[in-house]
Amino acid sequence: MKRNVYATYDVFPSAKGASTHIKEMINVSSQQCDELQLFCLRGNSTYPAVQTEGNIVIKRYYNEEEMNYLEKASLFSQQLFVDIQKNKESIQIGHFRDVWSGMGLTAEPSIKTIFEVNALTSIELPYRYPNLTPTFLEKLKEIESQCLQKATVIITPSEVTKAYLETNYAIDAAKIKVIPNGAHIPASYERPVDAPAQYIIYFGAIQPWQGVDVLLKAMTYLEDFEDLKLVICLAVKEKAFKPYRKLIEKLGLENRVILKSRLPKKELYNYIHYAEASIAPLKACDRNITQGCCPLKILESMACETMVIASELPVVTELVTAQEALLFEPDREQDLARCIRFVLDEPERKETYISNAFEKVKSNFLWDAQKDKLKKIYQDLTL
């Protein structure tokens, strides 16, 4: 039996964009073997610890409430290594998304590996745990370097991230393949029954680098649009929004912000499609400028034929130009409000942006095209 492994230190499935990406990647990997072993976090007890879907065997480790991040990360790496040893003779390719998965996979030299670098733990973890010591972060970078050097191939969704890896980890450019995120074109739409008459939308996660606070502040400059609402569709639990509730109260926006949480994809796409605009207010910080990313919310909004307003950052302009989206200066709520005002005041011109963006996503960013790139990498590794 020919096996592949896909390992991620993340809950799967979930409402986060990462889960969308994982789903598309494992679809490719499972087609290149007899059995795909998917190792991930369990999240909570509603997900089975072991599950089989077609030729995919999912093994989930640890409920998220049971231990702290680093305890769980260390045990995840150890358990992954133990489980891989059971079938190492039949494993062709080990595909991993993070260092905790990578430590378990790259420890077995007989397996060819793909390191999928969407984000680097050394950059993202301090946002979650601000008190991490410089010594710990340096150790984390050493682990990242080991995983990057040992990986047979590295894939990343952004040219910005590729440049960062080349510069900071001395990785040969030929080893790194850029495969952007993608989108599916929804077959149809139905206006949600509770959707406001006029609204803009933000959807996805709410980490500090996403710029949700900038968007909330921008709403205060649009008070003359009395009926305009901001619909926020969270990819995380509603309790994670608590810090922003205080800001909403401070800004007097209680009656203008509508919160939704963990919507099914079809329902989310309906909210996106009927919005006046979809906002991606990414901040000008290390995570977005230095490390890089590939904002899935931009591509999905384009695919839903919705006007995109986004921060003018290199990771954004890799995807869209000023012909397909309105771009504003990062961290400037007044400039963001100006762009929103333009969309509301110029509906006919908005349609031109939407049409241009829809054509671009169909030409360059459908998931099928991105998966073909990954399929070639798999095939090259198994020659």
User: How confident is the model over 331-344, as a mean pLDDT?
Assistant: 98
Tell me the CA distances in angstroms from 101 to 22, 41, 55, 70, 122, one per residue in order.
14, 11, 21, 13, 15
User: How confident is residue 66, by pLDDT bands cut at 50, 70 and 90?
Assistant: low
User: How confident is the model over 208-227, as a mean pLDDT?
Assistant: 97
Superfamily of domain 3-182+366-381: Glycogen Phosphorylase B; (3.40.50.2000)
Residue 66 makes CB contacts below 8 A (sequence gap 6+) with 72
Strand order of the β-sheet with 112-116 is 50-53, 56-63, 35-43, 3-11, 91-96, 112-116, 153-156, 176-178
Tens-digit pLDDT profile for residues 232-255: 999 988 988 999 999 999 999 999
**Taking 70 as the threshold, does the pLDDT of residue 62 lie above it?**
yes
Please, how many CA atoms are within 13 Å of residue 194, restricted to the half-sphere of its CB? 6
Would you say the CATH fold of 198-364 matches that of 3-182+366-381?
yes
Q: What is the pLDDT of residue 65?
A: 59
Q: What is the pLDDT of residue 380?
A: 97
Longest distance between any two alpha carbons in the chain, whole Å? 67
Tens-digit pLDDT profile for residues 194-217: 999 999 999 999 999 999 999 999
Report the chain's terminal Cα–Cα distance, integer Å.
Answer: 17
CA distance 245 to 370: 38
Beta bridge partners of 115: 96, 154
**Taking 70 as the threshold, does the pLDDT of residue 92 lie above it?**
yes
Tell me the CA distances in angstroms from 238 to 130, 219, 234, 259, one per residue in order.
22, 21, 7, 8
**Taking 90 as the threshold, does the pLDDT of residue 369 lie above it?**
yes
**Taking 60 as the threshold, does the pLDDT of residue 64 lie above it?**
no
User: How confident is residue 63, by pLDDT bands cut at 50, 70 and 90?
Assistant: low
Q: Comparing 44-48, 175-179, 221-225, which segment has the lowest mean pLDDT?
A: 44-48
**Taking 60 as the threshold, does the pLDDT of residue 167 lie above it?**
yes
90 in Cβ contact with 111 (< 8 Å): no
Q: What is the pLDDT of residue 349?
A: 93
% of the chain residues with pLDDT over 90: 91
DSSP secondary structure letter of residue 294? -
Tens-digit pLDDT profile for residues 13-53: 988 889 999 999 999 999 999 999 999 998 776 889 999 99
**Taking 80 as the threshold, does the pLDDT of residue 274 lie above it?**
yes
Superfamily of domain 198-364: Glycogen Phosphorylase B; (3.40.50.2000)
Tens-digit pLDDT profile for residues 280-309: 999 999 999 999 999 999 999 999 999 999
Q: What is the pLDDT of residue 46?
A: 80
CA 51 to chain centroid: 24
Indicate the domain borders of the chain.
3-182+366-381, 198-364
Tens-digit pLDDT profile for residues 94-147: 999 999 999 999 999 999 999 999 999 999 999 989 999 999 999 999 999 999
222 in Cβ contact with 252 (< 8 Å): no
CA distance 161 to 37: 27
CA distance 291 to 123: 8
The average confidence (pLDDT) of the chain is 95
